[in-house]
Amino acid sequence: MITATILEGQFKGQTFEVDGLANRGDWFHDTWIVGIGMGFETAMIVVEGDNETDIIDALTDSKYGHLIKVEDDFYDDPDYAEYSGNNGHLINTDEIRIFARCKVHYFEKRVK
């Protein structure tokens, strides 16, 4: 099991189980946790990157990109997308619940 402890913001100090890793090993600087709301559950994805823009681009280019990626002709309303990047595609960030730097614990054993 992989967990991540949030280092800043509203959830500082809380530890979450990680559902996935995006671009692990591609960037050895910061790790961020992105919580993406999906109905009653939130997918917790850890992404390596330097800043928010890098994180969103890496996430949308990963196998988890379908969780937030919206094609640029999907909505005509420019207010729908809060971020425009990833080769011109509009990105809907409404479903992002948590976006913070974190410390990742890769080799933890589950405690019962």
pLDDT digits (tens, 9 = 90+) for 46-64: 999 888 878 888 888 888 8
pLDDT at 102: 94
pLDDT digits (tens, 9 = 90+) for 74-95: 445 554 444 444 444 556 666 7
Is residue 31 within 8 A of residue 56, CB to CB? The reply is no
Q: What token pair was written down for 6?
A: 């949030």
pLDDT at 81: 46
DSSP helix, strand, coil percent of the chain (3-state; round to 5): 15, 40, 45
Distance CA 74, CA 39 (A): 21
pLDDT at 5: 96
CB atoms within 10 A of CB 74: 12
Q: Which range has highest mean pLDDT (13-17, 23-27, 75-79, 108-112)?
A: 13-17
For the chain, the structural domain boundaries read 3-68+98-105
* Paired sense of beta strands 96-105 and 30-38, if any: antiparallel
Least confident of 2-11, 27-36, 72-81: 72-81
Which letter does DSSP use for residue 62 in this model? S
Is residue 33 within 8 A of residue 45, CB to CB? The reply is yes
The angle formed by the CA atoms of residues 94, 100 and 102, to the nearest 5 degrees, is 145
pTM: 0.74
